[in-house]
Chains A and B, each alone.
Chain A
Amino acid sequence: MMRWLSALTLNQKLALLALTLGVGALFISPTRGGAVSIEPDELAAMVQKEVDHVTADDLADWIIQGRADYRLIDLRDEKAYAEYHIPGAELVPVAQLPDAALARNEKIVLYSDGGIHSAQAWFLLKARGYKGAYILLGGLDTWRDTVVYPVLAENPAPDQAERNAKLSARAAHFGGAPRAASAVVASAPALGSTPAPGSTAASASAAAPGSTPAAPVPMPKVQAPGAPAAATAAPAARKKKEGC
């Protein structure tokens, strides 16, 4: 045996070593996730710097561009998900989050109706060592008010006209329609009963899942199963391919 081994060249010995380790690899499984600890200072600093936010505008751009370097997680219940969800979102109710098939090297964008559930889920993921967890700023409320039913400036100046056109096209992509500013003023009381848009820490609707939020405009039925609108076909196809 030893004589046979010493007859080999260095290259052959190294190849033999690699082969041995390769055979060994068949019988071991790499550990996924070691010791995890919460760093309160680090988390607090992240909250302070607001680096953990994704705005509705950014998310809409990502979806239109067909980016696939993130996972979009809907934290609400099945019923709410069936009624409406952001294209490409995966349903993971908060209770199932600890068992969800999420990898800790992924960029994970969380959303709920407002901001409370996604903030709590964000903390849960951070504490378990998920470094790439993000919150959709303002949740579905802000998504609805800025992307699906954006408010257009009336009597627009030339630079605003361009922005209006872009917002309208984007709203159409997501099955919504722009609103005129005057219409929003008319429905102000209804809007007022929902939390102020942009505040992640206040959402009555997220805190009480049973109650439906007093939405001024219902969400479009863009994700009705079996009959996707032309505009949503591309993101739906992308999601199917993603399946990891």
Chain B
Amino acid sequence: MTAPFFKYGAFGDETSLVIAFVIGIGFGFFLERAGFGSARKLVSQFYLNDLAVFKVMFTAIVTAMLGVTYLSWLGVLDLSLVYLTPTYIWPQIAGGLILGVGFVVGGYCPGTSVASMATGRLDGLAFVLGLPAGTLLFAELFPLIQRFYDSGGFGQRTLPDVFSLPYGVVVFAVVLMAIGGFYGASLLERRFGTER
């Protein structure tokens, strides 16, 4: 069977929601096990004394990237059907900044807030209630910001396209970046860390 399963019609809409639920539970479980249910742990990366978030996320990126590369090489995964979010450079930079500020101030990002709420933390619950409130605000303001929301469109871009590099070279470069990043993170933790 060839992946992506949903695009190849291996199951329908209802089943896809059930599968998304199971994957979501698994995602939340591993976030919590990595210590990401605690706002203290999460924001300590911004004080450079615990870069676990950076390391876990970059590990996930490299693992997924290598998995996707080798699965598509083996012909098990059809990479050309994997959905890519189109690039809208300015609104995405603005969105990233808003999310980053919210992360520093609130102590969670959307996924970790749900994991935190599931462990009974009240700050996590407050954060989760903020999600629909923010969504509502965005929807109400949408007519005012729609021009900006649609600006800077570049279509579906990938790093191999942008840099005109072979796919494998970009994979290798990202692995090197990750290993360099992990080494740098361990140096920072040694310098600023409180416990280690």
Residues of A within 8 A of B (CB): 11, 15, 18-19, 21-35, 39, 42, 65-69, 71, 103-106, 129, 131, 238, 241-242, 244
Find chain B residues with CB under 8 A from A34 CB: 2, 75, 78
- Whether B155 contacts A68 by the Cβ 8 Å rule is yes
11 contacts between A and B (CB under 8 A): A19-B175, A24-B70, A31-B79, A32-B80, A65-B147, A68-B87, A68-B88, A68-B154, A68-B155, A69-B155, A242-B153
- Whether B81 contacts A25 by the Cβ 8 Å rule is no
Find chain A residues with CB under 8 A from B2 CB: 34-35
Find chain B residues with CB under 8 A from A25 CB: 66, 69-70, 167-168, 171-172, 175
- Whether A42 contacts B9 by the Cβ 8 Å rule is yes
Residues of B within 8 A of A (CB): 2, 7, 9, 62-63, 66, 68-70, 72-73, 75, 78-84, 86-88, 146-147, 150-151, 153-157, 161, 166-169, 171-172, 174-176, 178-179, 182
Find chain B residues with CB under 8 A from A18 CB: 62-63, 66, 175, 178-179
State the Cβ distance, A45 to closest chain B Cβ, in Å. Answer: 11
Q: In the complex, what residue of chain A is closest to B166 when comparing beta carbons?
A: A29
State the Cβ distance, A141 to closest chain B Cβ, in Å. Answer: 28
Find chain B residues with CB under 8 A from A129 CB: 78, 81
Pick the contact of A67: B73, B78, B153 (CB < 8 A). Answer: B153
Find chain A residues with CB under 8 A from B66 CB: 18, 21-22, 25
Cα distance, A105 to B81, chains bound together (Å)? 5
- Whether B168 contacts A244 by the Cβ 8 Å rule is no
Cα distance, A18 to B70, chains bound together (Å)? 12
- Whether B69 contacts A33 by the Cβ 8 Å rule is no
Find chain A residues with CB under 8 A from B154 CB: 68, 241-242, 244
Q: In the complex, what residue of chain B is closest to A71 when comparing beta carbons?
A: B155
Cα distance, A106 to B157, chains bound together (Å)? 11
- Whether B153 contacts A69 by the Cβ 8 Å rule is yes
State the Cβ distance, B9 to closest chain A Cβ, in Å. Answer: 6
Pick the contact of A105: B70, B83, B87, B176 (CB < 8 A). Answer: B83
State the Cβ distance, A92 to closest chain B Cβ, in Å. Answer: 16
Q: In the complex, what residue of chain A is closest to B160 when comparing beta carbons?
A: A30
Pick the contact of A30: B72, B155, B156 (CB < 8 A). Answer: B72
State the Cβ distance, A94 to closest chain B Cβ, in Å. Answer: 21
State the Cβ distance, B21 to closest chain A Cβ, in Å. Answer: 23
- Whether B175 contacts A106 by the Cβ 8 Å rule is no
Find chain B residues with CB under 8 A from A103 CB: 80, 156
State the Cβ distance, B137 to closest chain A Cβ, in Å. Answer: 21
Pick the contact of A26: B70, B172, B178, B182 (CB < 8 A). Answer: B172
Find chain A residues with CB under 8 A from B169 CB: 26
Pick the contact of B69: A30, A32, A131, A241 (CB < 8 A). Answer: A30
Q: A68-B153, A68-B155 are in contact. Are A22 and B171 (CB under 8 A)?
A: yes
Cα distance, A199 to B146, chains bound together (Å)? 32
Find chain A residues with CB under 8 A from B73 CB: 28-31
- Whether B86 contacts A31 by the Cβ 8 Å rule is no
Pick the contact of B172: A23, A33, A39, A66 (CB < 8 A). Answer: A23
Find chain A residues with CB under 8 A from B87 CB: 68
Cα distance, A105 to B158, chains bound together (Å)? 12
- Whether B9 contacts A31 by the Cβ 8 Å rule is no
Cα distance, A21 to B179, chains bound together (Å)? 13
Cα distance, A149 to B111, chains bound together (Å)? 49
- Whether B150 contacts A67 by the Cβ 8 Å rule is yes
- Whether B80 contacts A104 by the Cβ 8 Å rule is yes
Kindly list the 9 A-B residue pairs having the minimum CB-CB distance in the complex, ordered from nearest: A68-B153, A22-B175, A30-B72, A25-B171, A69-B86, A104-B80, A65-B150, A25-B168, A26-B168
Find chain B residues with CB under 8 A from A11 CB: 182
State the Cβ distance, B57 to closest chain A Cβ, in Å. Answer: 15
Q: In the complex, what residue of chain B is closest to A62 when comparing beta carbons?
A: B150
- Whether A22 contacts B172 by the Cβ 8 Å rule is yes
Q: Which of A18, A30, A42 has the most CB of B within 10 A?
A: A30
State the Cβ distance, B116 to closest chain A Cβ, in Å. Answer: 26
Cα distance, A21 to B176, chains bound together (Å)? 11
Q: In the complex, what residue of chain B is closest to A69 when comparing beta carbons?
A: B86
